[in-house]
Structure formats: structure tokens, C-alpha cells
Amino acid sequence: MHVISNIIVLALVAGAFALVQAVRGNRLWREALVELWRRRRISIVVLGLFVAVGLLDSVAWVGGAGSGTGDQVAASKPRSLIDRAFAPESFREVSYSAPFADIGFYDDAALEHPGEHILGTDILGNDVFYRTLKGVRVALLIGGLTSLIVIPIALFFGVSAGFFGGRIDDVVFFVMTVLASIPSLLLLIALIIVLGTGTLQVCIALGVTGWVSFCRISRGETLKLREADYVQAARALGVSERRIITRHILPNLTHLVVITFALLFTGLVLSETILSYLGVGLENSWGQMIDQARNELSRTPIIWWNIAGASIALFTLVLAVNLIADAVRDILDPRTLRERQ
Amino acid sequence: MDARSIGTRRCGTRVSSLPWGAGRILAVMIAGLALFACSNDPYPDADQGRKVLYTSFIQAPRTLDPAVAYTTSAHAVTANVFDTLLEYHYRKRPYELVAGLARFVPKATTWADGRVAYRFAVREGIRFHEDECFRLSQSDGRRTREVVAGDFVFALMRLADPEVNSPIKSSLSAINGFDAFGVRLTSMRKEDESFAKLQPHEQYVRVGGMDGVATISPLEFEIVLDKPDGQILYWFGMPFTTPTAWEAVAYYDGNDGRDRLADHPVGTGPYYLAVYDKQYRYVLQRNEDWYGRTTVAPGTVFPSEGEPHDVADGLIEPEYFGKQMPFLDRIEFRRERESIPRFNKFRQGYYDNGGIIKESFDAVIQNDRLSEEMATLGMKLDKVTEPSIYYIGFNMDDPVVGREGGDRSRKLRQAMSLVINMDEYLKLFTNGRGVPAQSPLPPGLFGYDDTYRNPYRQVNLQQAKALLRDAGYEDGIDPKTAKPLKLTFDAGRTTSQDKLRYQYYINAWRQLGLDVELAATNYNQFQAKVRRGAYQIFTWGWIADYPDPENFLFLLETSKARSESEGPNSANFKNPKYDKLFWAMKDRPNDVERARLIKEMLAILEHERPWIELYHNEAYILRHAWLKNAKPLGLSYPVYKYLDVDPGERARLRLAWNAPVTWPVYALLVVLIAAVVPGVVTFYRERQ
């Protein structure tokens, strides 16, 4: 499992490099990126940090250094760079301790690592900061992977339905209506019970329930674009349908794709939180942390750091992605582009 | 406008006729003030000085039929409406049976052929509650009749009747002819339609009764068991075997506007069910006819002997010793669906007892004691250790942890038992509610030894590591794979909260270098896994049916093994020596020999470790100081005849705790005036 994950990371990094190279050759994209950096410097840095943590947590191997104090069980399992940096098997306490505390929460006993737990420790004594960082990968995986499944499918069906109309439109629209009329949370839970609880299964379940809205938007936009003057002109000149779609329809949908990606991404990360709350979420996710911590808020004295760690991380990631997507949309939308110049 | 119409109960203020707008506003204000001046007491004024106990229920029980009712909510009614032949001594622990409706606790007589007989002698002058199902008596003009031995026999027949569907049917099958009676009944009903239409008591007579149950005289009956059953008498201490009137069963069939028997109990007890509104309230009213008002018996007079510490702890008031019961006139049950209002009303003094809700646990309990705020209100906290055990079990059929591995597996189990720290666990997960278990036997049962400390239930990491080394798993490494030993922990709950608990055990075992994987599925899947035998380590609990050590020790007996008979011995523990001791112990009276046998059995469990005993659950019950003699029984039978209240004190404290807070009304008034004045000013200015 960890070998596949390593290969995927490698592929992602290579793909990112290739993309950067390709973009540098294109004047339009290069200017767009420069404009984006000018507008959303902080958000990009924050998102970059999240992605870096996610990638570091995905590179894992068995054996090697950093296994804490001779924990054989840990040494026999693949551990990521984040795991190695923290050595969570030895970097733990008996139970709760407040952020930067020197003593335990319950019994005032001295901690093993006084003052080192930035976000305190949870009920089992695990470092909350470490758990928060572990949640980054799950969130990116849920958001990213599902969006990558959903967007192509939604775009394909939406554009086909909108552009060709007729029977294709009827079928696609019928499927969409059926899915939209089932309460999505119930469908989600039913799918997860059938498919089982794994990362891929949860992604698929979220994908099945998530593609409808974007499909509807892209179909509507395509219907509008189909009747645009330049498309009519291209038709009259005898340009093939395939070419019309790739030259005229898809580029004009780009801003929609970007904004949908952002909304979808943040929505999915939040959905996973709800799933965890219902007991069908993923291990090590922020949702699970929040769910475990829900009773802690009603304690006196209150234990806030567990829920705070996960919530702040969740909030920061969602906000950064939303801000970036907003700027990207402004930059890429042909209409606002014209206004700007 | 009459302020009464706003909805206040006792305070009406008449408002004289004023100009339209001002009058309306003033009326509303005064009505508001009147509301605040009123009390929030939900009960009628007339009840204020009365000896009434107030308590709550969440959901009315499905049935009050004594042969079927087997839930805590039903027992709240049935334990007080019905009398039983035998009763649990209110103050003695371990639990002891005393005579109730029976004149004495019967002794077993063993017959030459190995059968065992018990002869019950019923007290004279016991009468059923007055009820319209009985014939009008010519002599005193009342509708009731005296209880005879036949009513007990009739109750036993109903328990055997498959159509009644009693949950304890299988527990009484030791009675000679008990099962055969049910079989005959079913076949007769199938064959003969006219028979099936008869009333139950007529059917029972036609079928010919039960071989092992016989009425000797109008007030004596005898039951004969095929084989000795040391636990049989406990069933005569539960409402299942209460005398049942055939008239009531025949009359309350739910037809022609009559109640169903499930909603209309007719018993002999100290209270009768006067009001039964399942949606809103039910009322138990004192039975003036109760036999205990004239008879001096263990079940009718407050016991003067018992655990000495219950008096010292303030649970029992010595002034009640030897007094004729019951003390309360009435018990009021009000429906409370939500936990927070229920707790709030308790805190305001409108319920006399209550549990502790999760939301306010830390406000009520601090450092395992009542918080100062609650203690100054005079509240009392009772901790009851429930007759229950929670444990981690090993599947003894498993090649790695089970009996096949012999000494190697035993040492592994011992080592795993040595690292589970229950004190810490209880502190983290249950707010300290629970008693760390040393053996399967919970406190309060015969054979429980307060001083016994299981050497494998004390935390000792060094010894555990040494044991593991002896077992051949040095530092947890499995020699076969040269990797940490992989084990699977199966659990039947999937919420994050429960997973944390499981993770606690797994972390403890990880200290030994063991790689335990959690397989948490939902309860149905877990049960399916257990049925298939596809499990290694699991966790489960058991709550006693009756307070006898047999009810816990049988969980590890061979014939009850999951793999043998789908029994409750999920650990599949099979040990011939243990079985021999078990059968010798099972039907013995509680004597020195029995204690010795139990001790020997516990020693086997201590060494073999089929279970890691975790804890006995502890319930925290809150009550007000005016509730007297509320010694928790632990079993789910609230017996109200022992309880008393001090209504004067209650009324005084209720008044003190519910003083109306009036400042918001004045504040509101000021805000209202401040809001209206500018408008009025503007209005007049514009007019000019």
C-alpha cells in the first residue's frame, strides 16, 4: 500500500513540474499565474504548506531511523516522514494535557515531554498537533481525489447533454433528477455501508452524490454557448463538432470548473466531518478528531484544544482554497478579463 | 380583560376598563408580573403536605402482565402492585431471600428418585385489589376475593403457556412436566377449535395441569423438580410468579372496551395502579386492604437488622425499625421524554430522585463526590455497584491465544492481562464510575471476597514482559515471522468514542510489543462473527438475572460454550476441573463448602485467564434529603413500600429553591418604556 502511495506522490510531483513547464510557455497562463500570486500571496503560501505536509505524510517506508524508543510494532510498519519527525509512539503522555503544559490535566503529574506539546494531548495522551497534521493528508485526499473523479464525469455528461440535446439530454437529465431527489446524506451512508469504509470507497460514495450539481451547471452553460454567434459561425464554416467543443465550449467553461473545484473541495472536506460524526468516516481525519472531542466541550474545566486543532486546520484550509478559487475565477473568466483591460 | 386567560393558574388580576391601547399594554404587563409571582410547581396545591413520592418515566412499559414484564420501566410498577412469595431482604448483602406471601422460605426435600420438592405455605387473609373483574360479594358488597394456592399454580401455568410468551419460560423447565404442559396445550389448540376458544383457565384445567405442580390444600402447594436447581427460588422473588387471578385474565382481554391485561394489573400488593395514562402520568395508590397492614411478617415490617453501615451512611433511618409499612400514600410518575428538563425538575425539587445526566456530570460530581453546590442543597449521592461484569475475552478455540497453544498461550494471556490498567481506564472514560474487577463476581454476591486481589489484574509491565519472554515472544516478536505478534481485537461498536476505548487496550498491549489490530464492526456483524467463531479477542459484558454467583460462573462452563451449544460462554473456555467444581457448587446452599468451591473456581480462572476482567459498572443515583430509606437494591426492583418522604421539608425547600426571579420583568419594562417614549414623543410633535 505504501509503495503505491509513494509512486502516486512521485507522479504528482512530476506532473506538477510538467505543468509548470507547460504554463511557462503560454503567455495567457503565465500572466494569469503572476496576477494570482500578486492577489493571493498568503493563501497560496498556506495552501502550499498544507500540500507539503500532505506530501511529506505520503512518503513512507518500513524500517530505518526515528522509531522512538525501540517500539517494535511501529518499526514493523511503514511510517511517513511526518511519523518519523514526531515519533508518536514515544512522544505521548498518559492522558489529557493542555497546550505547552508541564503537568497532566487530571492528576497534576509531571509530563514526559513538558512544554513540548504545542496543541496539548488528547484523552489517550497523543499529541494533538501531530494528529492535526495527520489529518491534512486525509483532507487533501478526500477533497482532491473526489474532485478529480467528479469533475471529468460531470463535464463529460453535462457538455454532451447540453451540446447534443435530444435523447442524450433526456437520459442524462433523468439520471440527474433521480439522484438529486434522494436525500444525499442518506444515499452517502447507504453507499458507504455497501462499499465499506476505506479512503477510496468514501471518495467514490462522495463522488456519486457530488457530481449532479456541477453536471447541471455545465449543461446549462453549454446550452447557452451552443447558440452563441461565434459557435453558429463556426458551424456555418463547417467546423467539426469535436473541434467546436474543444475550441469554444470547454475553454468557456474553465472558470466554472475552477470555481466548482473549490466549492466541491471544501464541501467534501466538510462532508467527511459529518460522516465521521455519524461513525462512518475515515481514520485519522479531522472529522474523527472533532467527533471524539464533542463531549470534551461540556466538561468542566473545558478541554478545548482537541476540537480547536482540527477546527482551525479545517477552517484555514477551506478559507485558503476558497480565496484562491475566487481570485482564479476573476482572472480566468473572459468577461471579467475584458473588464480588467 | 381578565389576566387569567393568559394561562396562569392561581393568580388573577382584574384590569379596570382603560382607554384601548394603554389598557391592553397594561394588562399584558400585569399578566406578565402575575406569571412571575406565581410558583412553577407542576402539582396541585392540595398535595403539598401529603406523603407522595414524585418520580419520572421516559416511556411507558409495553406490558405490565406479570408473566411477561421484564424491563426496568415495568418493574417500577409491577414490583409494587404485585406481591411475591419470597422477597429480597431490603438491608442485607449479600442478597438474602425472606418470606413474603409465603409463611416461610421453603426447604428442598430430595426424594429417593433424585427429584426435589419445595412446599410453599401461603399466608391467610391475602386479598386481591378491588376490581370490577371480580364478582360482587353478597356479604360485604365488594369486588375482591381471597388468594388461594390455585392462583400461584395458575401463574405457573401461564408462564408455561407458549401463547403468553414469557421470557423466563426456559428458566423454569426444571419443574416436572413444565415443558410438556406447553406442548400439550399447543397441540390441543391446533386440533380442537372449540378448545382454542375457551378461556385460558378452562383450557389449563382441560389439559390436565402440570405433573410437578400440585395444590395440597387451599393454602399450600408443592413444586417438584426433575433435578436439583439451586436457583429456582429466586424466580419466586420476582413478579413473574405472583398470584394471578383467573378472573382478571379472562376479563381483561381487550374486547368490548375492556382493558388489556398488559395495561391493567390486578395484584395483591401494597399499592394499586389508580391512574395509567401512558402518555402523561401514572399513579400508584396505597392499598388499604393490604395484608401487611394487619400481619407482622418480614415483608410488612421495616427490618431492624441488616448491614450496619447503611444506618451510619444515612441510607436508613433507625426510627423506622419495626414499623408497619408502607409509609407513602401515593407514588406519582410523570412522563419526561428529555433528560435535561427531567434533571432540572429534580434540581428544583419536583422529583425526589434522579440519575445524573452526562451534560451536567461535572457540575454535580467533583472528585468523585457531590459538588459543593449540590451538597449545600442537601442532596445525597448513592453509588450502586450493579451486579454486572465487563470483560475482554480470548477465544479459547483460537490456535494462537487459545488452549491449543498450551503454556505458551497461557503466558501470553497472563501477560496481556497484566498491562490493562483499570483505575486509569475508569478515570479516563467513565468519570470514575465502576469498580475494577478482580474476578467475574461483582460485589454483593455470595463468594465475593473484598480482600481478594487477582495477581494478574495488577499492573506490572516487567512481569508481563518476562512472561512473554518465557512464552517465546521476546519483546512481542513472533518467531515464525520475526515481526511483532499480530492479533485481532473484535468489537461490536463503531463510534469514535468507543474506538478510543478499544484503542486504550491496544496501546496497553503495544507496550509489550504486540501488534493488535482493531476490527470494529456494528453489533450485528460482530454477533455474526462470534457465531462463525471468527474472532480472537473480544469484549463483552454480562448483567445478572438473579443475585447468585452461579449466574456469573456459568458463563465459563463447557456446555454453555459458543462452539458447543451457541451458549453465552463466548470465550469457549472448557476446563473439566472447573466444570466439576461448577456442578458441585451450582445447587448448594450458601455455606462454607460453597464458598470454598467458588474460591477454587476463581483460582482456575486467575491462572488460565480466559477473561481479562475489566470492571463492575457503578450507577450514581441522586436523591433529596427528604427521601428516607432509599437504600439502592442494585437489582432492578424499586420497592416503594420501604420509602418515606418528609413533605414539610420538601415544601419548604421547594419554595426556597424556586423563588421567582423578578428583575427581568422590570428590566423588560424599562426597555419597553425606553422603546415607546421616543415614538410617542415624535407622534405628538408631528401632530402639532
ipTM value for the complex: 0.83
DSSP assignment string, B463-500:
HHHHHHHHTT-GGGEETTTTEEPEEEEEES--SHHHHH
Q: Cβ of A124 under 8 Å from any chain B Cβ?
A: yes
Reported as a pLDDT band with limits 50, 70 and 90, residue B133 is very high
Q: Would strands B486-491 and B515-520 be described as parallel, antiparallel, or unpaired?
A: parallel
Question: Smallest Cα–Cα separation from B639: which of B244, B53, B152?
Answer: B53
Are B358 and A298 an interchain contact pair (Cβ–Cβ within 8 Å)? yes
Reported as a pLDDT band with limits 50, 70 and 90, residue A337 is low
- Cα A265 to Cα A185: distance, rounded to the nearest angstrom: 17
**What distance, in Å, lies between the first and last C-alpha atoms of chain B?**
33
pLDDT digits (tens, 9 = 90+) for B595-653: 999 999 999 999 999 999 999 988 888 889 999 988 877 666 778 999 999 999 999 99
Taking residue B263's Cβ as centre, other Cβ atoms within 10 Å add up to: 17
pLDDT for B371 equals 85
Given B428, B477, B484, which is nearest A123 (Cβ)? B428
Q: Cβ of A76 under 8 Å from any chain B Cβ?
A: yes
- What are B52's strand-pairing partners? B330
pLDDT digits (tens, 9 = 90+) for B206-246: 998 898 999 999 999 999 999 888 888 989 999 999 999 99
Residues of B in contact with A89 (CB under 8 A): 510
pLDDT for B31 equals 63
Are A73 and B503 an interchain contact pair (Cβ–Cβ within 8 Å)? no
Residues of A in contact with B504 (CB under 8 A): 124
Are B510 and A73 an interchain contact pair (Cβ–Cβ within 8 Å)? yes
- Cα A44 to Cα A320: distance, rounded to the nearest angstrom: 7
Distance of CA B597 to the CA centre of its chain: 29
Taking residue A319's Cβ as centre, other Cβ atoms within 10 Å add up to: 14
Q: Work out the average pLDDT over A287-309.
A: 82
DSSP assignment string, B68-133:
T--SHHHHHHHHHHS--SEEE-SS-SS--EEESSBSSPPPPEE-TTS-EEEEEEBPTT-BPPP-TT
One-letter identity of residue A91:
F
Q: Work out the average pLDDT over A150-170.
A: 92
Q: Cβ of A291 under 8 Å from any chain B Cβ?
A: yes
Half-sphere exposure of A327 (CA within 13 A, CB side): 18
Reported as a pLDDT band with limits 50, 70 and 90, residue B23 is low
3-class SS at B520?
strand
Residues of A in contact with B484 (CB under 8 A): 72-73, 76
Q: Cβ of A302 under 8 Å from any chain B Cβ?
A: no
pLDDT for B21 equals 58
Q: Cβ of A127 under 8 Å from any chain B Cβ?
A: no
Name the more confident of B145 and B357: B145
Residues of B in contact with A298 (CB under 8 A): 358-359, 362
- Please tell me the total number of residues recorded for chain A in this structure: 341
Residue B75, C-alpha cell as written in the block? 418493574
- Rounded to a whole number of angstroms, the distance from the CA of B484 to the nearest CA of chain A is 6
Q: Is the pLDDT of residue B4 over 70?
A: no
Residues of A in contact with B362 (CB under 8 A): 298-300
**In B539-646, which residue ranges form alpha helices assigned H by DSSP?**
550-553, 562-565, 576-586, 592-608
- Cα B680 to Cα B688: distance, rounded to the nearest angstrom: 13
Q: Is the pLDDT of residue B36 over 60?
A: no
Which residues does B contribute to its contact with A (CB < 8 Å)?
358-359, 362-363, 424, 427-429, 475-477, 483-484, 494-497, 500, 503-504, 507, 510, 513-515
Are A95 and B495 an interchain contact pair (Cβ–Cβ within 8 Å)? no
pLDDT digits (tens, 9 = 90+) for B446-457: 899 989 999 999
pLDDT for B15 equals 41
Secondary structure letter of residue B129 according to DSSP: P
Average pLDDT, chain B: 87
- Rounded to a whole number of angstroms, the distance from the CA of B429 to the nearest CA of chain A is 9
Are A124 and B504 an interchain contact pair (Cβ–Cβ within 8 Å)? yes
Residues of A in contact with B495 (CB under 8 A): 279, 291
Residues of A in contact with B421 (CB under 8 A): none
pLDDT digits (tens, 9 = 90+) for A3-16: 887 888 888 889 88
Name the more confident of B435 and A32: B435
Are B513 and A72 an interchain contact pair (Cβ–Cβ within 8 Å)? yes
Q: Are B615 and B427 in contact (CB under 8 A)?
A: no
- Cα B177 to Cα B156: distance, rounded to the nearest angstrom: 11
Are A300 and B363 an interchain contact pair (Cβ–Cβ within 8 Å)? yes
Residues of A in contact with B428 (CB under 8 A): 95, 123-124
Name the more confident of B635 and A128: A128
Residue of B nearest to A294 (CA): B497
- Cα B322 to Cα B200: distance, rounded to the nearest angstrom: 42
- Cα B426 to Cα B615: distance, rounded to the nearest angstrom: 8
DSSP assignment string, B223-234:
EEESS--TTGGG
Q: Work out the average pLDDT over B42-61.
A: 89
Candidates A76, A96, A285, partner chain B, best to mutate (most B CBs within 10 A): A76
- Rg, Å, chain B Cα set: 31
Residue of A nearest to B509 (CA): A73
- Rg, Å, chain A Cα set: 24
Measure the CA dihedral B575/B580/B582/B588, to 10°: -170
pLDDT for B499 equals 87
- Rounded to a whole number of angstroms, the distance from the CA of B588 to the nearest CA of chain A is 46
Reported as a pLDDT band with limits 50, 70 and 90, residue B376 is confident
Q: Work out the average pLDDT over A207-219.
A: 89
Reported as a pLDDT band with limits 50, 70 and 90, residue B25 is low
- Rounded to a whole number of angstroms, the distance from the CA of B423 to the nearest CA of chain A is 12
Reported as a pLDDT band with limits 50, 70 and 90, residue B114 is confident
- Rounded to a whole number of angstroms, the distance from the CA of B471 to the nearest CA of chain A is 17
Residue where the block lists cell 430430595: B110
For a pLDDT cut of 70, what percent of chain B falls above it? 94
- Rounded to a whole number of angstroms, the distance from the CA of A258 to the nearest CA of chain B is 35
pLDDT digits (tens, 9 = 90+) for B100-111: 999 999 999 999
Are B504 and A276 an interchain contact pair (Cβ–Cβ within 8 Å)? no
pLDDT digits (tens, 9 = 90+) for A179-212: 889 888 888 888 888 887 778 888 888 888 888 8
Q: Is the pLDDT of residue B660 over 70?
A: yes
Q: Is the pLDDT of residue B9 over 60?
A: no
pLDDT for B102 equals 94
Residue A83, C-alpha cell as written in the block? 511519523
Residue of B nearest to A69 (CA): B511
Given A291, A292, A298, which is nearest B359 (Cβ)? A298
Residue where the block lists cell 487530571: A106
Secondary structure letter of residue B235 according to DSSP: G
Are B424 and A276 an interchain contact pair (Cβ–Cβ within 8 Å)? no
pLDDT digits (tens, 9 = 90+) for B490-521: 988 877 788 889 999 999 999 898 999 998 88
Q: Cβ of A276 under 8 Å from any chain B Cβ?
A: yes
Helical pair A41-56 and A27-39, crossing angle rounded to 10 deg? 100
Q: Cβ of A274 under 8 Å from any chain B Cβ?
A: no
- Cα B394 to Cα B610: distance, rounded to the nearest angstrom: 6
Distance of CA B657 to the CA centre of its chain: 31
Residues of A in contact with B427 (CB under 8 A): 95, 106
Are B503 and A288 an interchain contact pair (Cβ–Cβ within 8 Å)? no
- Cα B233 to Cα B96: distance, rounded to the nearest angstrom: 11
Q: Is the pLDDT of residue B356 over 80?
A: no
pLDDT for B287 equals 94
- Rounded to a whole number of angstroms, the distance from the CA of B199 to the nearest CA of chain A is 49
pLDDT for B6 equals 35
List, in order of start, the domains of chain A with CATH numbers.
2-58+130-340 (1.10.3720.10)
Q: Are B502 and B518 in contact (CB under 8 A)?
A: yes
pLDDT for B680 equals 93
Are B362 and A295 an interchain contact pair (Cβ–Cβ within 8 Å)? no
Are B500 and A292 an interchain contact pair (Cβ–Cβ within 8 Å)? yes
Are A279 and B428 an interchain contact pair (Cβ–Cβ within 8 Å)? no
Q: Cβ of A279 under 8 Å from any chain B Cβ?
A: yes
Q: Are B529 and B521 in contact (CB under 8 A)?
A: yes
Reported as a pLDDT band with limits 50, 70 and 90, residue A69 is low
Question: Smallest Cα–Cα separation from B392: which of B477, B504, B470, B486?
Answer: B504
Residues of B in contact with A76 (CB under 8 A): 483-484, 515
Residue B122, C-alpha cell as written in the block? 401461603
Residues of B in contact with A279 (CB under 8 A): 494-496
- Rounded to a whole number of angstroms, the distance from the CA of B164 to the nearest CA of chain A is 38
Phi, psi of B421 (to 5 degrees): -95, 105
Are B495 and A291 an interchain contact pair (Cβ–Cβ within 8 Å)? yes
Q: Cβ of A69 under 8 Å from any chain B Cβ?
A: no
